[in-house]
């Protein structure tokens, strides 16, 4: 009988390279390494595949998921203007659902029933991996070698040295970094003292906005909420993100330094750089302000916020998230047109918008000649609109001070 198998989310780094042999020793199972390219850059997938095999994996599965990640994960994030706590564009949170999709696919292909990942027991990502995996494959079991099999950093270095694994053990990066095409997340080291400012070496996607090059004007064309051209040149979602990462990154746009609320209850400090994501969200949100009807837009802001929380919390595959997707998609029908932005010195500022499906009516808005808004209608509107509160105020006047709202004598 062949051995049980474990599919491992493999990055090619020290920890997951050691995890291959460690899981084998601790569980007696064969390990299949799975590496997914979501635009994190760095080594070639083939190099990573070979290293997995050299570290003892019985097989390796590599997937270029860049286009898929951009189109099916980042674009829903853009349509939702998704920024957790109003700030963080969900870089890592968006990548876990696509990575787990490939993990589950590989597990099925190789007949594995356990899926392992390299996350610690303190973060959001363990939750995202495991909830996403069991949401797609309720029959699977999850394993975290760091959390469940005591694979600490020291143990990993000792193991790699002892077994002469083809992996660097001496290079000490003070930061824990996760990156993909939607952005980059940097934590730990001296950033854990939240009074410390990030130093220059933290950033790689963005240049220092203090010394910017000349302003860069860009026109982004959207169709149904999705970027389809930049400066008139057609592009895929991946190309749009990549081009804006480059151009907005050169201007130092999308640097974020925040303390955030993790799902496991900890407040943690994270630095992000998301030049393309931030530029696209700024542009998309403004185009929505032009094209989405007021009440739908007001409600969408609530839905967008909830969507971001669900995705942050590892609920990508949940029924509620799917329902919110249906609402969000229904709002994007008329989010078409061009947004012109000025990228400069750390900011992406919208300067122009035009849309064939706009609700902006120049004749209604103008204070100049040609005004079609009938100002005489406003009087009656205000009388009726203000009526409920006017009645309540009259009652207060008749029956004394009314309700004490705790604001003292105004």
The set of catalytic residues is 15, 96, 125, 176
**Residues contacting residue 49 through CB under 8 Å, at least 6 positions apart:** 33, 35, 60, 62
**How many whole angstroms separate alpha carbon 274 and alpha carbon 2?**
45
Q: Tell me how crowded residue 166 is: count the other CB atoms within 10 A of its CB.
A: 10
Q: Which is nearer to ligand ARG, 77 or 227 (CB)?
A: 77
Q: How far is CA 270 from the centre of its chain?
A: 13
Interface with ligand ARG in residues 219-248 (CB under 6 A): none
176 binds ligand ARG (CB under 6 A): yes
Q: How far is CA 244 from the centre of its chain?
A: 16
Q: Which is nearer to ligand ARG, 81 or 268 (CB)?
A: 268
**3-class SS of residue 4:** coil
Q: Tell me how crowded residue 199 is: count the other CB atoms within 10 A of its CB.
A: 10
Q: How many residues bind ligand ARG (CB under 6 A)?
A: 10
**How many whole angstroms separate alpha carbon 145 and alpha carbon 267?**
24
Interface with ligand ARG in residues 123-142 (CB under 6 A): 124
Q: How far is CA 275 from the centre of its chain?
A: 12
**How many whole angstroms separate alpha carbon 284 and alpha carbon 388?**
37
**In the structure encoding, which two tokens stand for residue 151, read together?**
């694979």
User: Interacting stretch for ligand ARG, rule CB under 6 A, among 175-183, 362-370, 381-389, 397-405?
Assistant: 175-183
Considering only residues 45, 177, 228, 250, which one is a binding residue for ligand ARG as defined by CB under 6 A? 177
**From residue 50, how far is each of 166, 368, 400 by CA, in Å?**
10, 70, 82
59 binds ligand ARG (CB under 6 A): no
Considering only residues 37, 270, 288, 304, which one is a binding residue for ligand ARG as defined by CB under 6 A? 270
Q: What is the CA radius of gyration of the chain?
A: 26
Query: What is the smallest separation between the CB atom of 231 and ligand ARG, expressed in angstroms?
Result: 32
271 binds ligand ARG (CB under 6 A): no
185 binds ligand ARG (CB under 6 A): yes
187 binds ligand ARG (CB under 6 A): yes
User: Interacting stretch for ligand ARG, rule CB under 6 A, among 55-63, 101-109, 170-178, 302-310?
Assistant: 170-178
**3-class SS of residue 258:** strand
Query: What is the smallest separation between the CB atom of 77 and ligand ARG, expressed in angstroms?
Result: 12
288 binds ligand ARG (CB under 6 A): no
178 binds ligand ARG (CB under 6 A): yes
**How many whole angstroms separate alpha carbon 153 and alpha carbon 13?**
12
277 binds ligand ARG (CB under 6 A): no
92 binds ligand ARG (CB under 6 A): yes
C-alpha dihedral sign at 42, 155, 16, 185:
negative
User: Interacting stretch for ligand ARG, rule CB under 6 A, among 105-113, 166-174, 185-193, 396-404?
Assistant: 185-193
Query: What is the smallest separation between the CB atom of 82 and ligand ARG, expressed in angstroms?
Result: 12
**3-class SS of residue 230:** strand
User: Interacting stretch for ligand ARG, rule CB under 6 A, among 160-168, 174-182, 299-307, 330-338?
Assistant: 174-182
Q: Note the residues at the interface with ligand ARG (CB under 6 A).
A: 92-93, 124, 176-178, 185-187, 270
């Amino acid at each position: 009988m062949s051995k049980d198998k474990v599919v491992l989310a493999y990055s090619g780094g020290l920890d997951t390279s050691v995890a291959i042999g460690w899981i084998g020793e601790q569980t007696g199972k064969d390990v299949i390494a799975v590496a997914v390219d979501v635009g994190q850059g760095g080594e070639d997938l083939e190099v990573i595949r070979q290293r997995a095999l050299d570290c003892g994996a019985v097989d390796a599965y590599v997937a270029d998921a860049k286009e898929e990640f951009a189109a099916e994960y980042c674009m829903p994030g853009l349509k939702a203007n998704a920024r957790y706590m109003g700030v963080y564009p969900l870089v890592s949170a968006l990548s876990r659902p696509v990575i787990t999709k490939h993990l589950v696919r590989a597990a099925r292909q190789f007949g594995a029933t356990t899926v392992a990942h390299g996350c610690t027991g303190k973060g959001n990502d363990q939750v995202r991996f495991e909830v996403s995996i069991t949401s797609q494959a309720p029959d699977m079991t999850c394993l975290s070698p760091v959390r469940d099999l005591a694979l600490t950093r020291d143990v990993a270095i000792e193991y790699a040295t002892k077994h002469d694994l083809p992996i660097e053990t001496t290079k000490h990066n003070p930061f824990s970094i996760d990156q993909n095409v939607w952005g980059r997340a940097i934590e730990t080291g001296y950033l854990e003292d939240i009074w410390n400012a990030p130093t220059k070496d933290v950033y790689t996607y963005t240049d220092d906005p203090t010394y910017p090059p000349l302003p860069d004007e860009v026109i982004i064309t959207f169709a149904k909420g999705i970027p389809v051209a930049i400066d008139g040149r057609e592009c895929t979602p991946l190309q749009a993100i990549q081009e804006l990462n480059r151009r907005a990154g050169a201007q130092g746009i999308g640097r974020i330094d925040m303390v955030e609320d993790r799902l496991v209850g900890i407040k943690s400090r994270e630095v992000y750089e998301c030049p393309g994501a931030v530029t696209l969200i700024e542009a998309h949100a403004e185009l929505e302000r032009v094209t989405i009807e007021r009440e739908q837009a007001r409600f969408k802001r609530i839905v967008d916020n909830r969507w971001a929380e669900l995705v942050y919390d590892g609920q990508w595959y949940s029924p509620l998230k799917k329902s919110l997707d249906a609402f969000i998609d229904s709002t994007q029908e008329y989010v078409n047109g061009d947004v012109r932005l000025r990228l400069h010195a750390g900011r992406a500022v919208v300067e122009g918008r035009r849309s064939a499906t706009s609700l902006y009516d120049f004749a209604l808005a103008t204070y100049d000649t040609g005004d079609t808004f009938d100002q005489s209608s406003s009087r009656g509107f205000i009388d009726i609109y203000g009526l409920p509160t006017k009645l309540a105020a009259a009652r207060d006047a008749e029956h004394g001070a009314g309700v004490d709202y705790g604001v003292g004598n105004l």
